Amino acid sequence: MNPLEHKIVNHIHLHGALRFDNYMRLCALHPRHGYYNRPDPVGSPASFTTSPEISQMFGELIGVCFARHWVLTGKPRRCNLLELGPGRGTLMSDLLRAASQVSELVSSSRVVLCERSRTLQEQQHERLKSYRPRWTRNLEGVGERTTFAIANEFFDALAVRQFRRTRRCWQELHVAVNHSRLVPVFLPLQGRPPGYGFERVKPGSIVEWRPEAVTYMQQLSGLVNRNGGLALIVDYGEARGSGDTIQAIAGNEFAEPFETPGRADISAHVDFGALAVAAGDRVAVATSRQGTFLKRLGIEQRARILARGLSGDMLRSHVAALHRLVDTDAMGSLFKVMALYRKGAPLPPGFA
């Protein structure tokens, strides 16, 4: 039993079963034992790999998208370049390098990183210190400027509540203890669960809802509505989520969410329909598959340019990275891109 598991078991013995979203939050962000406070929670062989760690092209094209939209909307001064969940700072580093080559957006902006993990803040500082980034734990500290925001694989890691409908009542997923082991258990819920569209759910169905996602989407849409700019959400999920999508990844392999808490990254599919509802009608919304979005921005042309100086294993790795990002049987279809932009502004680059 690892230290975090021991703490959780003791808590359950004292207070009863733990609601799953609280369990997930502890596993991710416990100050000493949480997954994101480990030495290398992102990008190492013992962790999971995100698109920016797969290829520099991903971050570069996000930078191109922002730079083009900045030009299309009149080159506003005093901007925020904001990233939610910046990992090791890889995406922001690639974004800044590419955007600075095609526009003056970077020189007109300050870099703001929304990050709760002290471990990752230290890694981000090391990579981005020349840009003098600012850190915030939530979007209330971002400031009223034209904001270009990217949230890549951020929403999937937010704590999720899971509900099951029976013929008699609604139930909610909790974590209990059985013979000193953490186990999932559904307990009765008083009334209906919070969330969007659950009144149409049939008995036997499972649905999921993220309270924090609603807050973040409302804050992002408010920033864009008041100040202009563009917010991109990139994640895996569907237009309307349903079913049990909770999963854990350890060492780039699937793991059990209730075994060795704090040692695996727990996440769940993103319900993009619920995100759009949370954003409200204050902003315009566009969506695309990741592969289509990156192709429209020119990832295949960029890949050919980068391939000119490569050969052997490095070339094969480069080509494999391209296919992993855009192919429909890899990340190209499972991952979606949602844009929030000001009503009346041009459609952001990369969207049809």
Q: From its phi and psi, is residue 304 left (phi > 0), alpha (psi between -120 and 50) or beta?
A: alpha
Neighbouring C-beta atoms of residue 4, cutoff 10 Å: 19
Query: What is this structure's pTM?
Result: 0.94
Q: What angle do CA 247, 210, 167 make, to 5 degrees?
A: 80
CA distances from 189 to 163, 164, 170, 192 (A): 9, 9, 5, 7
Tell me 42's DSSP state: B
Least confident of 41-45, 213-217, 234-238, 348-352: 41-45
Mean pLDDT across 261-278? 95
Q: 273 by DSSP, 3-state: which?
A: helix
Residue type, 111: V
Mean pLDDT across 270-279? 95
For residue 38, the model assigns a pLDDT of 83
Tell me 199's DSSP state: G
Note the pLDDT tens digit of each residue in 103-132: 899 999 999 999 999 889 999 999 999 999
Q: 167 by DSSP, 3-state: which?
A: coil
Radius of gyration, CA atoms only, the chain: 21
Is residue 46 predicted with pLDDT exceeding 90?
no
Tokens of 340: 């929030």
Is residue 43 predicted with pLDDT exceeding 70?
no
